[in-house]
Amino acid sequence: MDEIRQLQTEFGVSQGALRNVVQLIDDGNTIPFIARYRKEMTGSLDDQVLREIAERLAYLRGLQKRKEEVCVQIEAAGALDDTLRAQVAACTTLAQVEDLYRPYRPKRRTRASAARERGLAPLAERIFAQEKNAPAPEALAAAFCCPEKEVPDAAAALAGALDIIAEQISDSAKIRAELGAAIQRAAKLRVAAVDAGKQSVYSTYYSFEEPVRTLPGHRILAIDRGEREGFLKVSVALERAAALGIVFRQSVKPGSACTEAVRRAAEDAFDRLLFPSVEREVRGALSQRAAGGAIRNFSVNLRQLLMQPPVKNAVTMGLDPGYRTGCKVAVVDGTGQVLDTGVIYPAPPHNKTEQAAKTVLEMLENYEVDVVAIGNGTASRETEQFVASLCKKSRRKFAYMVVSEAGASVYSASKLAAAEFPQFDVSLRSAVSIARRLQDPLAELVKIDPKSIGVGQYQHDMPQKELAHALDGVVESCVNAVGVDLNTASQPLLRRVAGIGDSVAKNIVQFREENGAFASRRQLLKVPKLGKKAFEQCAGFLRVSGGANPLDATAVHPESYKAAEGLLRLCGYEPSADQTALAELDQRAARLGWEHLAQQLDVGVPTLRDIAVELVKPGRDPRDELPPPMLRTDVLEMKDLRPGMELTGTVRNVIDFGAFVDIGVHEDGLVHISQITNRYIDHPSKVLKVGDIVKVWVLDVDPARRRIALTMKGKPAGEN
């Protein structure tokens, strides 16, 4: 019940819906299934919110488990009382629990532990008490001299006692919390060069400082990387007097002969133990915050890239550009099946432009190619110019698009690609992948590790487990939102369907190869290792076209077939009604009353509305509602660009400080966050997303560094 209340506070969702969500998760249901087919139970929460709830639930349960472990260990040390137990119970983060546990955690040998072994703990306790009538600490220390325990005199005893006090002060959860808050509130991150004479990409940070509270994530990540690579020295700067004041207020009591000794111990604790430790924790928290933001940004970009509208049923030519090894060519039909392949050499050092043009023009006409996809890697600019020239020569009208080839080489060298195209070498597989990326980005990109797709920043610096988990969730969400054709889907696509993993996906493909195309969803139950639970989770996301039951080609779940048939009957339709007639289904249902129909059919209103949508537009693809990708028939070069020039481009990547836009000159231009809109935005993703078609104006061109600055705020003042 505590975790439900906490989730309600954080997400603003009713306790009833949260209890249902938690129960559904605990029962082994997948997030896509819960989001799509259990809307009545969750209040129609979408899959992103459900994932956040699931992650937070896991954290809260881990927190509770850690609290119990810590209490057991403190109790074993004989130090657990009701007050400490209540303090542990009140913790809301793992860091707070660890701070309370710190004084009781087994430590490596320290100066304080050595002093305790020499019997100086009672002396430390007496001095730290700072009683009004206490003798001077030197007098107290004289009673603890013991050469046999390596305490030769009072000075040695006092030094050991102060080491114990310093460690106690350093271990104080309250002092650590206050100091950490002060650093977050008032400290600056100070950065300097290890070698100012050594040029690097980190030169911006060779003499840099910024308040900790305002540091944006991309700067934190850049500074962290520069420090790891040995170019930068980083420290946290906090006004010493103010910081010491926090420590003194919690540890030093005035009016005692021992006060000054404790003050010295507190200052030693701050310099030697406390500040370095809290500084590391704050730096860690900054890095964690920056990484979390980068992972969220990467996830948003990946979702938008995967959900790019496909160029459906188009015969497509894929070109994987290259210099010495030539440009690899692959032509695929509207379903992605390979029709032809080859290699041409239109770029240096071969410059066999005429021969390459003859080969490509023949392929364009012979296979009636509709569109050409050009990879954006090495020799892409020359290849794009070559293709643009063919647009004017070809009798076959076609357009082209430069597509990101990030991850194509990873895929083409994989076991999966070798199994899919054993007859082709690695380079030709890459050309096929580039063509298919334009035809159906989602179906092709699921074959590649999401981290290799290239729509994030600093992805190699992220906590890899958290990054992989987040990106896998995005891929799963996109695949299930679109749906999968059971009879054509590849194993990598099937494994992303809710309830299906690698082994079951492999079994589905093998069953299909051995028994022919699936005639119905029910046949899935004959697939080895695909039981009733897996069928429940996956069936609604798998489509079977041309089967005996037309509902198998829709997103209507088999558990709702009876309700779908009942809806048609109550609205006056025959089961065989065509799509034209069904166009009025929504209006007829509204006249009869959704609530009334739902009660008669024993389903919830959200489910009934979803059924109606699917009956009117069976197997609809949410990507079809988005603007189509921008295809080109001409090409610009960087030397053609002038400040003030108006262009149309495609957003390729959205990052913390701006967005990169493809304007057709091979190098993507940067629209800095300050140039996106005239109003304030805290992140470019508030305005832009990957795949957006945008109007931009050229601000500046730097050919030497291959950099283009763009604006979306209109033509720069003073430009003609």
Tens digit of each residue's pLDDT (9 = 90 or more) over 148-184: 999 999 999 999 999 999 999 999 999 999 999 999 9
State the architecture of 111-187+238-294 in CATH terms. Answer: Orthogonal Bundle (1.10)
Spatial separation of the C-alpha atoms in residues 356 and 467, rounded to whole Å: 43
Contacts of 238 (CB under 8 A, 6+ apart): 182, 183, 186, 187, 188, 275
Sequence-distant contacts of 151-157: CB under 8 A, at least 24 apart: 151/118, 151/119, 151/120, 157/120, 157/123
pLDDT > 70: percent of the chain: 99
Strand, helix or coil for residue 236: strand
Spatial separation of the C-alpha atoms in residues 497 and 507, rounded to whole Å: 14
Spatial separation of the C-alpha atoms in residues 660 and 298, rounded to whole Å: 14
Contacts of 212 (CB under 8 A, 6+ apart): 183, 184, 187, 188, 189, 236, 282, 286
Cis peptide bond upstream of 349, omega within 30: yes
Whether residue 154 contacts residue 160, with contact meaning beta carbons closer than 8 Å, is answered with: no
Cα angle 355, 315, 313 (rounded to 5 degrees) comes to 170
Signed CA dihedral, 502, 503, 508, 514: sign only: positive
Taking alpha carbons only, the member of 251, 258, 254 closest to residue 141 is: 258
* The pLDDT of residue 227 is above 90: yes
pLDDT of residue 1: 58
Fold of 316-476: Nucleotidyltransferase; domain 5 (3.30.420)
Query: In sequence order, what are the beta bridge partners of 399?
Result: 371
* The pLDDT of residue 282 is above 90: yes
pLDDT of residue 720: 58
Residue 208 dihedral angles phi and psi, to the nearest 5°: -145, 140
Spatial separation of the C-alpha atoms in residues 274 and 511, rounded to whole Å: 63
Tell me the two tokens of residue 429.
Answer: 């597989």
Tens digit of each residue's pLDDT (9 = 90 or more) over 594-649: 999 999 999 999 999 999 999 999 888 898 887 788 887 776 778 889 999 999 88
CATH of 2-104, one of 1.10.10.650, 1.10.10.10, 3.60.70.12, 3.30.1490.190: 1.10.10.650
What does the pLDDT average to over 543-555?
94
Contacts of 74 (CB under 8 A, 6+ apart): 80, 84, 88, 101, 104
Tens digit of each residue's pLDDT (9 = 90 or more) over 200-218: 999 999 999 999 999 999 9
Whether residue 627 contacts residue 308, with contact meaning beta carbons closer than 8 Å, is answered with: no
CATH code linked to domain 638-711: 2.40.50.140
What's the whole-model pTM score?
0.86
Whether residue 391 contacts residue 636, with contact meaning beta carbons closer than 8 Å, is answered with: no
CATH of 510-625, one of 1.10.10.10, 3.40.30.10, 1.10.150.310, 1.25.40.10: 1.10.150.310
61, HSE (Cβ side, Cα atoms, 13 Å): 9
* pLDDT category of residue 719 using cuts at 50, 70 and 90: low
Domain definitions of the chain by residue range? 2-104, 111-187+238-294, 316-476, 510-625, 638-711
